[in-house]
Structure 1
Amino acid sequence: MQAAVLAGPGRFAFVQVPRPRPGPGQLLLRLEGCGVCASSLPVWEGRPWFDYPLPPGAPGHEAWGRIEAVGPDDVSGLRPGQRVAALSYAGHAEFDIAEAAAVLPLPVALDGMPFPGEPLACAANILARSDIRAGQTVAIVGIGFLGAVLTRLASQAGARVIALSRRAYARQAALRFGAEEALDVADVYAATAAVADLTGGRLCERVIEAAGLQSTLDLASALAAEGGRLVIAGYHQDGLRQVNLQQWNWRGLDVVNAHERQPARYLDGMRRAIGWVQEGRLDPTEFFTHRLPMSRLDEAMALTRDRPDGFLKALVVPEGMA
């Protein structure tokens, strides 16, 4: 099979490697595509602690496709030909292995729709951990793919959503997805004052930080109302963070780290996302702005890093499906 191999910082090579074989309790998936996640940027850009090359297909972890073969153990309810979303970890390839317990069949009604289940599950789980209710004011700090999906979901829950982003395009997109206001974060103090003005000084009952930066964590903390909930959805992976604990204490905030690590939790979120799509509550294709063949994976990573106008999320597909 063809697979992308991250040979060094900023450089994917495309090689022929043996097709993997599923072991007990595993499935071989013929992939239709894989999302490109911003959490993969550090290893693509290069950091001193990474070793190269990575295994074929890594770090792709947002794959979907069809079951090609099953391992020697019983995998009740799963069979070759079924279309599935998966938690797998070498999705930048034509085939990948997934544990049978880490895939969900996709309804026939979704045939033809790209479905990277892992990031949609993230959004569903963050929404659940946020405990958003009708009538609340919700600030979402950072409008990339995740922030945009959460804007849609929070507004559907009956919340008043204030979106905050440095990108004009992202602010415009947030308004399309249901935000009532969209503010620039170039001046943190001005943004904080604007939210205070919009809320009559109360600030926001729920704040979701979705960018993974010190600056967005600081802003999100400043926007949380007394007795509110600060939800950390951004992936903070590039070093230590400082927090204003006096501010958190004084306001009596609930602080939630909305990152899941248990596959069962991911599958629960994926089930909810599949249900929303079937019900017409969520159309994930609105958020997939770029589709590229696997040979252009470096370009997809650069788009994810640079976030030009028009960009929310890139999907990468095998060459024959581009």
Structure 2
Amino acid sequence: MRIAVLRGPEAFEVVEAPVPVPRPDEVLIRVAVSGVCASELEPWLTGPPAGEERHLGHEVSGVVAEVGADVTGLAVGDRVGAWVTERGFAEYVAVRAAYCVPAGAGPLDLALAEPVACAVNAVEAADVRLGDDVVVIGAGFMGNLVQQLAALRGPRQLVVADARADALERAAALGATRVVDVTREHLPDVVRSLTDGRGADLTLECTGTQAALTACGETTRMSGRIAVVGYHQGAERTIPLAFWNWMAFDLVNAHFRDVGVIMRGMAVGMRLHAAGRLSLDRLVSHRFPLAEIDRAFAALRDKPAGFVKAVITFPEAG
């Protein structure tokens, strides 16, 4: 089989490797799609330590090709989303059967169960409440997912902010009550004008940038909630902690490492997706074959016009 191996900065090599043999509690998945996650951008940019290599890829969906001796509830031919921690940029991956969820009947390149789980768990942890005034900072892939899921909770205002016109157009189409181009409008002023001067009950930061983190404290009301959904990597971030203390913000780290939480989020997300309550139709914008994986990561880095999400596809598996 073919697998992408990160050898250096911005340098994958596609090599031949043995097809994994599933253990008794595992299944072998013929990968149909593997998403390019923002959390993997920094490792791609910097490369592994000298003399080492890395096997990235954790947003996998595909078709069960083989089942281990102890596996029940899954069969060859089943379409699944899977939670894996590495080696997802490959034609096959072995994974515990317990870490798979049904992917539904739709296109597998839209059944991105792992990132959907991140959004599901973030919205649940942030505790969006009926009638809340909610701000989502960032209208990229994760922001779009969070926006849709927050809308299911019944907020009064659902304001989405970004600097890109195409992203704001997409957020409006997904049902935002107000979009804010932060290059033209002052987000805190807009939010106050919509909330009787109070500020947002909840602000969800979905970009992983310092500017968005700073804006959270400026848009959220006293004793409101701030959820850090974006993945922060690279340079250290700063916040005016004395002000945030004074404002009595409820801070939510919307990142999860407990496998049970991740799997529940995947199951819930795929149920909503299969039922048409969570749409990914416009969110997978760039598709690349495995041989062009560096181009996929470059698209994530550069965010060309219309970019939302890049995936690596293996069409023969679908």
* TM superposition score category, shorter chain reference: over 0.9
- 2: distance between equivalents of 1:147 and 1:275? 20
- 2: distance between equivalents of 1:257 and 1:44? 24
Distance 1:7 1:282, change over 3 A: same
Compute the RMSD of aligned alpha carbons: 2.0
CA offset at residue 319 of structure 1?
A: 6.3
> Is contact 1:294–1:319 with CA below 8 Å preserved after alignment?
no
Q: Does residue 60 of structure 1 match 2:63?
A: no
Q: Give, as a single letter, the amino acid of the residue that structure 1 aligns with 2:224.
A: G
- 1: distance between equivalents of 2:187 and 2:219? 9
Q: Does residue 171 of structure 1 match 2:168?
A: yes
Q: TM-score, normalised by structure 1?
A: 0.92
Q: Does residue 17 of structure 1 match 2:17?
A: yes
Aligned to 1:43: 43
CA offset at residue 51 of structure 1?
A: 4.8
CA offset at residue 201 of structure 1?
A: 1.4
Q: Residue 218 of structure 1 is aligned with which of 210, 214, 237?
A: 214
Q: What is the percentage of aligned positions where both structures have the same residue?
A: 35
CA offset at residue 187 of structure 1?
A: 7.1
CA offset at residue 268 of structure 1?
A: 0.5
Q: Does residue 231 of structure 1 match 2:227?
A: yes
- 2: distance between equivalents of 1:53 and 1:232? 32
CA offset at residue 121 of structure 1?
A: 0.6
Q: Give, as a single letter, the amino acid of the residue that structure 2 aligns with 1:13.
A: E
Q: TM-score, normalised by structure 2?
A: 0.93
Q: Give, as a single letter, the amino acid of the residue that structure 1 aligns with 2:215.
A: L
Where in structure 2 are the equivalents of 1:93-104 lying within 5 Å? 93-104=90-101
Unaligned runs of 5+ in 1: none
1:231-252 residue CA offsets vs partner (Å, 9 max, x unmatched): 0111112243222222222222
1:159-214 residue CA offsets vs partner (Å, 9 max, x unmatched): 221111121111111111111211123478x2222222232211100100111122
Aligned to 1:27: 27
Distance 1:169 1:53, change over 3 A: farther
1:61-101 residue CA offsets vs partner (Å, 9 max, x unmatched): 100111222334x1221222221110112111100121222
Distance 1:263 1:51, change over 3 A: farther
Q: Give, as a single letter, the amino acid of the residue that structure 1 aligns with 2:259.
A: P
- 2: distance between equivalents of 1:18 and 1:50? 25
The 3-state SS of whatever aligns with 1:59 is coil
Q: Does residue 306 of structure 1 match 2:302?
A: yes
Where in structure 2 are the equivalents of 1:1-322 lying within 5 Å? 1-46=1-46, 50-51=49-50, 53-55=52-54, 58-72=55-69, 74-88=70-84, 89-107=86-104, 109-110=105-106, 114-159=110-155, 160-186=157-183, 190-318=186-314, 320=316
> Is contact 1:24–1:71 with CA below 8 Å preserved after alignment?
yes
Unaligned runs of 5+ in 2: none
Q: Give, as a single letter, the amino acid of the residue that structure 1 aligns with 2:21.
A: R
- 1: distance between equivalents of 2:168 and 2:7? 36
The 3-state SS of whatever aligns with 1:283 is coil
CA offset at residue 123 of structure 1?
A: 0.8
> Is contact 2:33–2:312 with CA below 8 Å preserved after alignment?
yes
The 3-state SS of whatever aligns with 2:269 is helix
- 1: distance between equivalents of 2:139 and 2:42? 20
